[in-house]
Each structure stands twice: as C-alpha cells, then as structure tokens.
Amino acid sequence: MAEDTLETSLDASRFDDDEDDRDLGFGGVVADRSRQRFLNPDGTFNVRRTGVSVATSLNLYHTLLSMSWRKFLLLTLLLYFVSNIVFGLMYASFGVEGLVDTSAEPTTNLFIRGFFFSVQTFATIGYGTIHPVGIVPNLLVTIESYYSLLANALITGVVFARFARPTARIIFSKVAVIGPYKGNMQGLMFRLVNGRSNQLIEVEAKVMFARWVDEDGRRVRKFDLLDLERHKVSFFPLAWTVVHPIDEDSPLRGLSSADLEVRDGEILILLTAIDETFAQAVHQRTSYKPSEIKCGYRFVNLYNVVTDDEPISIDIRKLSEVETALRD
C-alpha cells in the first residue's frame, strides 16, 4: 500500500512538472483573460506593464542597444545638434570680443558664429579662424572639450556594441499548414530559413499550442507543448520544415479551421540557435493564429533544379507558397 501511494505521488509530481513546463510565463490570470495573440509575428509580446516608475524601468544602455538603427542614428544626430546649439548660444553670449572671427569674411551673426565654433570644438576640427578670447570663453571651451570627449567615447562604444551583439534573422513562412504527412497521417508544418549569410548550428525549436477549452464548466486557456518530428538540427545551411505529427495523442487531432477559430488557437514558437560567428546563443520568436494556418494544404517544393556539377540550392521566395494537398 505504501509503495502504491509513493508511486502515485511520484506520478502526480511528474504530471505537475509537465504542467509547469507548459507555462509560458504569462501567468494564469493573463492566460484566462487575454483575448489577443500572445506573440506577434515579429516576436514581441502582447502585454503591457503599468505602475512602474520611469526611473525604475529605464535602462538607457539597453534602450540604445535594442532600438532600431534608424531611431538610434536620429537620436545621436539630435544629440549632436542640440549640444552644439546650446554651446553656440553660450559662446554667442560673450559677444564679438569674446569670440573673434579672423576669416576673410567674418560671420556677423553671433549665434551662427558660436554654433560653428562649437561644431569645430566638439569634433576637434579646429580651423583656427574663430577663436575664444578671455578666461571665461576659454573655460567654456575646456568644458565642451571634456563633454565631447565623453559623448564621442560613449557613442562609439554603443555603436560597437550594436555591431558586436549577435542577433538572429530567421525568416518564418507567413503561414503554417496542416496537411498530409507520412501516409494517412496529418501534420502541422511551418518552414524557416536563415535570413543572413552567417551559419547557425544546434538550432532547436519549441512549439506550443494555446487555445480555449471548457473545464469543469468554465472556459480556460490551455497550453500544450507539441511533439515534433525533429526538435533540433545540428546544421542549418538551407531551410527547415518543422513538423508536428498529428497522431492520436496530439491536441490538434480532429480540429478544423473553424475549430481553431472558435478556440482562438495560437501556435507559439521559440527558436534557439548558436551563432557560429560569435559562438553565442541567439533566439527568435513568432506565432501563428487560425487565419495564418491553412488546413488541407502543403508547401510547394522550394529546391531549384540543378545539374550534377552544381550545388543544392533553394528559392527563398517560395518559402510561404502553398498548394492544395491532394493525396496520390
């Protein structure tokens, strides 16, 4: 009797562990209340946090690393112009005696003169036609030189960190399909390819199925980790079709497009790989909603026709192309 009780406890513990593994980290409240997709196609989460002060949540270094290059370049350009405008105004306040222009055609506008002198000081250009006169103007030059030294060093460091930080650029097929797989079986499939010329190794995929179900008279969100035909590939030179066989144990068994729509199903994907160039792990996420899952279709062949003396190649433009799945 004691052994039976122990075995039952161990079985229950294993079951609880399995349930914990299925938790995405959103929490039970979010899982039960959310009516939107958990993951956007670009991998961002559809959640929001409020009540946290700006001082607590702000991490300037992380923000500068994670923002787009367009925003980063615009921000540094804004910092450059604002800094020179501020120092230019201070130089202009000294008047023509404090900031002398010895060029052939001296700039009469004191702000313009001060602005361009600040640009020359900030960038350590130093043409010499405009120069400060007096203790206070030269003291301001000293302050700006120190400021520009720090600003240029920090910006250079962030630019280097942005280039050195490894990131994945995995291109996922725009749709997933449910179609024939190995004879009479069905399978959930989606394709992916490395969007960069670098090599990724030890690529691992985790796929989870989220949907609404009725349990004990109430509607709850349930998550299941889907078994894959292959969870991991050692090399990723071309494309990888990730397949979940829909067998008798699959939570997708018997579900149609209408069923997925009613249950607000979502296929959540986490991809992990090692970037061979940096020897560091990279990650990428995405998801598929019912409108992006085509039942009764299959992907078209994306391999190009080659001769015996040509290497194997694929046409990435066909990554998301599908066709009606007709059984032979």
Express each pLDDT in 251-304 by its tens digit: 999 888 999 999 889 999 999 999 988 888 999 999 999 999 999 999 999 999
Name the nearest CA neighbour of 219 among 47, 31, 25, 20.
31
CA 142 to chain centre: 42
Residue 97 confidence (pLDDT) above 50: yes
Q: What is the pLDDT of residues 61-96, one digit of tens each?
A: 888 888 889 999 999 999 999 999 999 999 999 998
Task: Report DSSP state, residue 316.
Answer: G
pLDDT of residue 49: 64
User: What's the CA gap between 133 and 285, in Å, rounded?
Assistant: 59
Predicted pLDDT at 45: 67
Percent share of the chain, pLDDT over 90: 55
For residue 150, the model assigns a pLDDT of: 94
pLDDT at 2: 42
pTM of the complete model beyond 0.85: no
Contact 245, 187 (CB under 8 A): yes
- Specify the residue for token string 């299925």: 22
**Chain-wide mean pLDDT for the chain?**
84
Cβ atoms of residues 179 and 229 within 8 Å: no
Q: What is the pLDDT of residue 273?
A: 94
The span from the CA of 306 to the CA of 300, in Å, is 17
Domains of the chain: 67-164 (1.10.287.70), 170-324 (2.60.40.1400)
